[in-house]
Amino acid sequence: VEMSVDLDHTPRCLLVSDRSSFLHEKNRINSQVEQLNFNYKVSLLLPECGSTPSHLDSMLNNFSTFYLIRKLPIYELLDKRFLETAVYQGCVYGLSYRTRIDEDICVALMPNGHLCLSLDKDSFQVLGVEGKASRFSHRTKSRYVVSVDMTESSMVPGGRGYLRLLTGLKSRLPLKSDFLLSHHPGGGASLQALLSRYDWSEHKPEVSTHALTCLSCPTQLTSIPPNFDPHSFLEWLGAVDADISCENSSCSFLSSLACPEPKTMLSQALRVSVCGLLLPQDILRLIQEIRCYLDQPQLQSWVALTVHGFVDSPVSWGGREHGALRGGENFYTLLMGEDHTYHLHLVTGAHDTCPP
Laid out side by side, the sheet with 114-120 consists of: 132-133, 143-149, 114-120, 106-109, 91-96, 176-184, 66-73, 200-203
pLDDT tens for 117-150 read 999 999 999 999 999 998 876 666 788 999 999 9
pLDDT tens for 202-247 read 999 999 999 999 888 888 776 666 667 888 889 889 989 988 777 6
Cβ–Cβ < 8 Å for 337, 224: yes
Percent of the chain with pLDDT over 70: 88
* CB neighbour list of residue 168: distance below 8 Å, 6 or more residues apart: 126, 127, 128, 129
| Distance between first and last Cα of the chain | 40
Q: Is the pLDDT of residue 290 over 90?
A: yes
User: Which amino acid appears at position 245 of this protein?
Assistant: S
pLDDT tens for 59-111 read 999 999 999 999 999 999 999 999 999 999 889 999 999 999 888 999 999 99
Widest distance between CA atoms in the chain: 69
Q: What is the pTM of this model?
A: 0.91
How many CA atoms, within 13 angstroms, populate the side-chain half-sphere of residue 257? 20
